[in-house]
Chain A
Amino acid sequence: MAERSETEEVKLLGMWASPFSRRIEIALTLKGVAYEFSEQDITNKSSLLLQLNPVYKMIPVLVHNGKPISESLVILEYIDDTWRNNPILPQDPCERATARFWAKLIDQQICVAAMKVVGKVGEERDAAVEAARDLLMFLEKELVGKDFFGGRSLGFVDIVATLVAFWLMRTEDLLGVKVVPVELFPEIHRWVKNLLGNDVIKKCTPPEDEHLAYIRARMDKLNIKSA
């Protein structure tokens, strides 16, 4: 159980369907840190959010003893630096660098490539799918012989990669194109099954039905054809 001083206050401004917000909840839950969750309406941003994250005006924002931290990867590292039990990042500097490398690839390239598939048709869509798959293949190879990216247990990259497991892979049915088919990505599929066997992941992942309904509604609003 994490140590808590009497004045310690942890608040998370987040959004139930955001992968970036959920990853913070996973980290806090893994470390047994009690926190207050403040659900934000991202279509009508609160003055609190704008005050706490004036640079990007986005969730998640972690507020610890009144001090705000933004950007999910920065927050994850802050959580690991502050609550030292159940480490998320490995101890070895080379392994830490590797974990940070994959996290950056997921957020800056895989996420972007996946979003490019949305709303496209025909040849354009095929090219976008191809590009996303090329990047995902790096993750596929990384998982060979491992239960999780972190090895025998969940780590930093697993937490960041939930974006792939529960956002990218869930929307496949809605998009009508399997970006991550099991024939091409058996390791990733095996890893998702391992994730689903973990209580913290189960607790901190949006319930599938509501999640799909939400995504479908968003796609309708943006006039994107859903399968």
Chain B
Amino acid sequence: MPHRSNVNASTCQNITFFSHTFTLTHPSVLDLKEIMPSGEVKLIGAWASPFVMRPRVALNLKSVPYEFLQETFGSKSELLLKSNPVHKKIPVLLHADKPVCESNIIVEYIDETWSSSGPSILPSHPYDRAMARFWAAYIDEKWFVALRNFLKAEGEEEKKAVVAQMEEGNALLEKAFIDCSKGKPFFNGDNIGYLDISLGSFLAWLRVTELAASHKLLDEAKTPSLCKWAELFCNDPAVKPVMPETAKLAEFAKKIFAKPQA
């Protein structure tokens, strides 16, 4: 199935985006119509958002075609405000016009709805599922907050403190990876899953932050397993088409974090 993308993403509101490359193990497009739950799938999002990337990877893993409705940075569409009145945030998945909000919740929804398609995104054993959910929550509530603070940090003292926080977090995640992966390439084992997606969606922003700070935040010496995992994750066929390019993201970051001149 050819990869179709819209070249001028920033000016078009509606883009049809089918971005999963088929392998021999996937059913044909004709078969999909029979086994797929009915209803059109749309995703309201933005190319640069790590949270939006999560459901995109999940939809790719399940070979679910969807329409990507790109929000313009700095404004919120009527559809977004109507679909997510509580938070008014992306991503929002619309399945047969029913909205599902919150990136990790959307990923679980995708896994449960298209359960017979593609690999399982959540692990099958309840304890492994609990570990995946625990670390995904840690990543959003602690690890990402540290990363974001690093981007905003001013002055050497503040930067040093945030780097220390990040390194502590990375050490925890390195251990979590060893515990969860049990010798396999991904947190989820042989295939990427919920926790891989949860952390992996931040890799582009992590790289941009490293470039801006001239400081390696994910260190081969301190977190060798995570570094190896990161490379494998980025090269996964479900991830590659939706991972933002570092250079493009760096430009975007400069724009949104630009401080007004005195």
A positions within 8 Å CB-CB of B? 55, 64, 67, 69-71, 73-75, 77-78, 81-82, 93-94, 96-97, 100-101, 104-105, 138
The one of A64, A70, A78, A97 in contact with B108, judged by C-beta atoms closer than 8 angstroms, is A97
A and B contact pairs by CB, cutoff 8 A, 20 listed:
A55-B138, A69-B130, A71-B134, A73-B133, A74-B130, A74-B137, A77-B129, A77-B133, A81-B126, A93-B113, A96-B108, A96-B109, A97-B100, A97-B105, A97-B106, A100-B105, A101-B102, A104-B105, A105-B86, A138-B86
The one of B100, B102, B134 in contact with A94, judged by C-beta atoms closer than 8 angstroms, is B100
The reply to whether A78 and B129 form a contact with Cβ atoms under 8 Å apart is yes
B39 to chain A, nearest CB (A): 10
The reply to whether B130 and A97 form a contact with Cβ atoms under 8 Å apart is no
B152 part of interface (Cβ distance < 8 Å): no
Q: Which residues of B contact A100 (CB under 8 A)?
A: 102, 105, 108
B55 to chain A, nearest CB (A): 11
| Distance, CA A74 to CA B106, complexed state (A) | 16
User: Which residue of B is nearest A98, CB measured?
Assistant: B100
Q: Which residues of B contact A105 (CB under 8 A)?
A: 86
Given contact pairs A55-B172, A138-B86, A93 touches B130 in the complex (Cβ within 8 A): no
Q: Give the bracket for the number of chain B residues in contact with chain A.
A: 20 to 34
Q: Which residues of A contact B130 (CB under 8 A)?
A: 69, 74-75, 77-78, 81
The one of A74, A82, A101, A138 in contact with B134, judged by C-beta atoms closer than 8 angstroms, is A74
Q: Which residues of B contact A94 (CB under 8 A)?
A: 95, 98, 100, 109
B191 to chain A, nearest CB (A): 20
- State the 6 A-B residue pairs at the shortest beta-carbon distance, nearest first: A81-B126, A93-B112, A78-B130, A97-B109, A82-B126, A74-B133
Given contact pairs A70-B134, A94-B109, A96-B109, A78 touches B127 in the complex (Cβ within 8 A): yes
Q: Which residues of B contact A82 (CB under 8 A)?
A: 126
B101 part of interface (Cβ distance < 8 Å): yes
User: Which residue of A is nearest B102, CB measured?
Assistant: A101
User: Which residue of A is nearest B136, CB measured?
Assistant: A74
| Distance, CA A67 to CA B108, complexed state (A) | 24
| Distance, CA A84 to CA B133, complexed state (A) | 19
| Distance, CA A207 to CA B101, complexed state (A) | 37
